[in-house]
Structure 1
């Protein structure tokens, strides 16, 4: 199969889905452009701040993209390109897109509250507590995994003299300084967004040039761990307009540039997929056997659906939505764009069978080879792709930390959802506890954390779909579009988590095994609680 055909089919189907299925969802859910959003009614310019739709798309897209849509499809390619491609397309349209948009819209209708608060209002305080425990455990896994990924990417090894990490780290630090200046000028000095964006993007690529030419930050992995821990603590508590939003907005142009470069390369080169279309249901890798169900659906992760997206949508993005009509572009559109990234990642491994190494190395090698067709030297292209990859891993990291802070603070809310003056509800304390718990897991490293993160993350998607489904049902709206994906994700992820528990026991990874067991039990109890409450409510309605 030619890769250009796969890319065009995916892009066309995504465009059709956005226009048609997106319109159907908007009508079914009752999107109301005249209704004021929490960004206006609760504005505080720290967390709640109305934003231009394109700026917010940049923040949201950068936060949800991360390393997932690249790492997942490349790892899942052991099953063959066809099942991975089908899940990316079908999953993005009917699962991930609906999940992301539904969580964002539901949060907007609940004063920008988290998924946990939506569960409280529709299922009660007990259900909220169970969900928030689950979500917080998942977040500390995310923070630990992405801290390890970023530190490893930025680390400089004087023994080899390889400057790739130092270049990426230097450019990323320069990005942060640029983003804060951009946020201050646009949101505090009223600078024109269009003009500021032009200069901001130009300076963004100048930062890449400086980082590539003068990689003056040369730290070990441990050094970067310390720097990143300090950074995410600050990013969790600083006003969203000063760092998180402008940084993600500017960095989104890196991914747009990468997408355009990849598209042009595929159009010019038109490489055929050289890996097998399918390798069967069971695939032997090393000493273990992976099964298409459920492993494929967990491994592709963010390339089709991701529970972390619901935390971003209800954690930061919903507090910045200027108009309800913008939720379609940000929630549904953002996921479909991520689907395109996942297809490019699949092509990077499927059309270049000789590629080896980490997913980041495979992706950068494949896309750089494609970009060389229009004059970009392969080595320069590799550095650019690595920089983009690391930049998005970092945006997911700082966003996850902030969301972890939100969730932890909600543990100390009153029964009616209002905040208390407890020390646990303090944003600095909540940040330190979240980051501290993640630091404990850092000792396991990314490779051991990722499998449980993948399963927990996808099960979180099922729980978020549960929250949206119950809310839609209680509101008298059509909820079939979230119910069917919810049931499927529960079947996939509970099966995968069970397999992980067995593997952790055999390997002696006690802490990860305990976390996996807790996640499994919490999910079962929450599903049972929701089913019981919904059944009781239906019985009351029938008897009334």
Structure 2
């Protein structure tokens, strides 16, 4: 129990202490007009209250990642919880803050445009392709996962046979509607309630374990176990753990989602609560599910058996009904199902907006929104026919690579304006080494090279990229250039009363 409480306390402290430091380095301007007002169009640029934007941001970024990832990561033992805490504070929350606030500073621009502005045109073209591929994979994952979970729930509880294909069709139909209607009609209206339900049910699960006579939180584990690889299959912790647990620690998908709420943010002072804070909230959810996975089944072998018998979805189902009974279990399970659905629609929405930016096509008219959205749904529908396991593996690597690109973009921005860039450069270096090592070593997706040579290449490549980013960015900064040049990049410098 103390280990879990310590981790939660560390995340909360990270928000107030390190979050304030990151905000100070960035340098907010409370008088600067945000895109929600300067570009207000009633569709994508719509001012929304601080609490509403936070809850929508939390749902947008929290797909099945902060649940499935920590459950799979729990197979390594409490080391997964250590990565969630450190990754969330020093990498994920920083990544989300800069992806949101740089979008605010650049008129609500999507991540490829931000990458192009600070890293150059070649980086922009790469990011356009990579972001669209990632978002399509996310959309497919977040159709297949909830469709499978709903199908299993209905069939188990009603003794009927419901087709998963029918569930996929229903969810896709909803995605089409949610992607093209104004952001405040469905997302802004209902998602805050879903966000509150998610928080309530996550807390309910951990409370159920705390007061259970059969289970106790992290019983038998010691703080020293956070530095031990306890995987029952003897799988190496490096670099797989840092790919497996993405959304609960750091996730490139968030960089595609933060601009959605950057277009709704009323004041720059709200950025830390919305972007940094939502990531901390997701970290708490990830800790809860990691602790549930480690605590409910009693041993690593039993957890491994549960995962082998139906994947992380089976763990969610067993723990929800085992801890909360039928009624509570259904509510908790539906709370988990809501996560991928509320992230899947915003994945397609982000794809539409990235394409619209690329083709310079306004999105106020319904015809243009449909023109951008429909090809994405056709491709997504085709990809749902591919094996889910294959899609998930590619999603994990694409996700973390996108996070690397966003972190380097933030570093280039900070270097350009002579600000303390190490807050983004250090996590960028670490995640670059992770991604390169993973793709070189992995036998299924990558090149199948040995771990030692893969790690050496990953570290050397990370150092070379660091030098390159510093070289192309640092020379542009000088004391007089700083604020004046930044103001020129902003097309909405008029102040609001």
TM-score w.r.t. length of structure 2: 0.83
* Counterpart position of 2:25: 28
* Counterpart position of 2:457: none
1:101 to 97, 102, 109: 97
2:207 to 254, 259, 264: 264
Contact 1:70 1:360 in 2 (8 A): no
2:125 to 121, 124, 129: 129
Does the C-alpha gap of structure 1 residues 505 and 123 become closer, same or farther in structure 2, counting only changes over 3 Å?
closer
2:110 to 111, 114, 119: 114
In the TM superposition, residue 451 of structure 1 has moved relative to its aligned partner by: 1.4
* Counterpart position of 2:493: none
1:362 to 315, 336, 339: 315
* Cα distance in 1, alignment partners of residues 33 and 381 from structure 2: 40
Does the C-alpha gap of structure 1 residues 325 and 76 become closer, same or farther in structure 2, counting only changes over 3 Å?
same
Does the C-alpha gap of structure 1 residues 539 and 113 become closer, same or farther in structure 2, counting only changes over 3 Å?
closer
* Counterpart position of 1:162: 156
* Counterpart position of 2:282: 338
1:447 aligns to 2:443 (yes or no): no
* Cα distance in 2, alignment partners of residues 235 and 42 from structure 1: 21
302-311 or 117-126: bigger deviation: 117-126
In the TM superposition, residue 148 of structure 1 has moved relative to its aligned partner by: 0.9
Does the C-alpha gap of structure 1 residues 46 and 451 become closer, same or farther in structure 2, counting only changes over 3 Å?
same
* Counterpart position of 1:181: none
Q: Deviations over 1:404-449 (max 9, x none)?
A: 1112223324xxxxx489x9x9432221222222222212232221
Does the C-alpha gap of structure 1 residues 164 and 342 become closer, same or farther in structure 2, counting only changes over 3 Å?
farther
142-151 or 255-264: bigger deviation: 255-264
* Cα distance in 2, alignment partners of residues 122 and 223 from structure 1: 44
2:106 is paired with a residue whose SS is coil
* Cα distance in 2, alignment partners of residues 534 and 408 from structure 1: 30
* Counterpart position of 1:503: 444
* Counterpart position of 2:40: 43
* Cα distance in 2, alignment partners of residues 279 and 468 from structure 1: 30
1:309 aligns to 2:303 (yes or no): no
* Cα distance in 2, alignment partners of residues 408 and 476 from structure 1: 32
- Alignment RMSD: 3.1
* Cα distance in 2, alignment partners of residues 450 and 124 from structure 1: 30
* Counterpart position of 2:193: 250
* Cα distance in 2, alignment partners of residues 132 and 498 from structure 1: 23
Contact 1:148 1:225 in 2 (8 A): yes
Q: How does 1:457-536 map to 2 (within 5 A)?
A: 457-500=399-442, 502-504=443-445, 532=468, 535-536=471-472
In the TM superposition, residue 398 of structure 1 has moved relative to its aligned partner by: 0.4
* Cα distance in 1, alignment partners of residues 433 and 420 from structure 2: 22
Does the C-alpha gap of structure 1 residues 444 and 405 become closer, same or farther in structure 2, counting only changes over 3 Å?
same
* Counterpart position of 1:379: 326
2:235 is paired with a residue whose SS is strand
1:348 aligns to 2:292 (yes or no): yes
* Counterpart position of 2:144: 148
2:245 to 275, 294, 300: 300
Does the C-alpha gap of structure 1 residues 85 and 529 become closer, same or farther in structure 2, counting only changes over 3 Å?
closer
Contact 1:127 1:529 in 2 (8 A): no
1:443 is paired with a residue whose SS is coil
* Cα distance in 2, alignment partners of residues 463 and 94 from structure 1: 16
Contact 1:153 1:165 in 2 (8 A): no
1:402 aligns to 2:349 (yes or no): yes
Q: Deviations over 1:122-144 (max 9, x none)?
A: 23333211111111111111111
In the TM superposition, residue 369 of structure 1 has moved relative to its aligned partner by: 4.3
* Cα distance in 2, alignment partners of residues 505 and 102 from structure 1: 30
In the TM superposition, residue 536 of structure 1 has moved relative to its aligned partner by: 4.6
1:235 aligns to 2:178 (yes or no): yes
Does the C-alpha gap of structure 1 residues 165 and 238 become closer, same or farther in structure 2, counting only changes over 3 Å?
farther
* Cα distance in 1, alignment partners of residues 294 and 153 from structure 2: 31
Q: How does 1:59-98 map to 2 (within 5 A)?
A: 59-81=56-78, 83-98=79-94
Q: Which runs of 5+ in 2 are unaligned?
A: 449-459, 482-497
Does the C-alpha gap of structure 1 residues 157 and 473 become closer, same or farther in structure 2, counting only changes over 3 Å?
closer
* Cα distance in 2, alignment partners of residues 240 and 541 from structure 1: 37
* Cα distance in 1, alignment partners of residues 85 and 98 from structure 2: 18
* Cα distance in 2, alignment partners of residues 154 and 17 from structure 1: 36
Contact 2:397 2:435 in 1 (8 A): yes
Q: How does 1:267-278 map to 2 (within 5 A)?
A: 267-269=210-212, 271-273=216-218, 277=225
